[in-house]
Amino acid sequence: MSFSSLNGEIDVTFPSTIKATLSMKTEQGEIYSDFDIAMDNSAPKVEEGGKGKGRYHVSVEHTMRGKVNGGGAEIQFKNYNGDIYIRKGK
């Protein structure tokens, strides 16, 4: 599944037993969730050959990734100007 918005919030509710791998990104907003998300800690990517601007090029991924209830199907959230709410249903 994929949810996206340019200007506005994304607000979704999933069953409490969902098994999912989340990919979340917002440029000018915040991310909120009722779920316990096991976040992946990825290190910055370092490549040699900085295209004439330096010896190395360091890139940092701005997408947050994590697993709910051990992970499962991938669910993607992308938002430019707004918050992301991932709620736990009853």
List CB contacts of 43: < 8 A, sequence separation 6 or more.
none
How many domains, the chain? 1
* pLDDT class of 87 with cuts at 50, 70, 90: very high
pTM assigned to the model: 0.79
Q: Which helix (H) or strand (E) holds 33?
A: strand 31-33
Domain that holds residue 49: 2-88
Determine the pLDDT at residue 35. Answer: 96
* pLDDT class of 85 with cuts at 50, 70, 90: very high
List CB contacts of 37: < 8 A, sequence separation 6 or more.
22, 66, 67, 68
For residues 42-59, average pLDDT: 71
